[in-house]
Amino acid sequence: MTLSIHDITFDAGDAHALATFWANLLGWHVFYDDDPEVLVAPHFPADEMTTLLFIPVPEGKTAKNRVHLDLNSSDLTRDEEVERALALGATVVEDHRKDDGTGWVTLADPEGNELCIVRSPAERPPAGTKSWRLG
């Protein structure tokens, strides 16, 4: 039997607002109806792809995420994407960029969920010349 990831689910104080942040960050779309859950996907229907699902909960985030998303861009640099994320409402948690261009930036979305922005494929050495690490 093979499993696949259907949704990556976020608990949220304001599911619609948080979904909107992530949709803007990823260039995806927000989908919702009468249900309080909000879906973010590249297009709809989204049955055959991994989506982000935002579920309203009454309690706020209280600890560091044990899982987070690492993001990179196909057309912007890591640093350009970090600036774009900040303009959308993210905040810097830790900056791991190094003088040689390696590294990543850990950010928090508007409700404190961590994410990292790593170098774009164009910023990394050719395959086979470095380790698998994306940062």
In 3D space, the residue among 40, 49, 47, 37 whose CA is nearest the CA of residue 11 turns out to be: 37
Q: Which domains does the chain have, with CATH numbers?
A: 1-57 (3.10.180.10), 65-135 (3.30.720.110)
User: At how many degrees (to 10) do helices 15-26 and 78-88 cross?
Assistant: 150
Q: Give how far Cα 108 sits from Cα of 10, 12, 46, 59, 130, Å.
A: 13, 13, 26, 17, 28
pTM: 0.87
**Does the structure show a pLDDT above 90 at 133?**
no
Indicate whether 64 pLDDT > 90. Answer: no
Q: Read off the pLDDT of residues 73-122 as tens digits, 9 standing for 90 and up.
A: 999 999 999 999 999 999 999 999 999 999 999 999 999 999 999 999 99
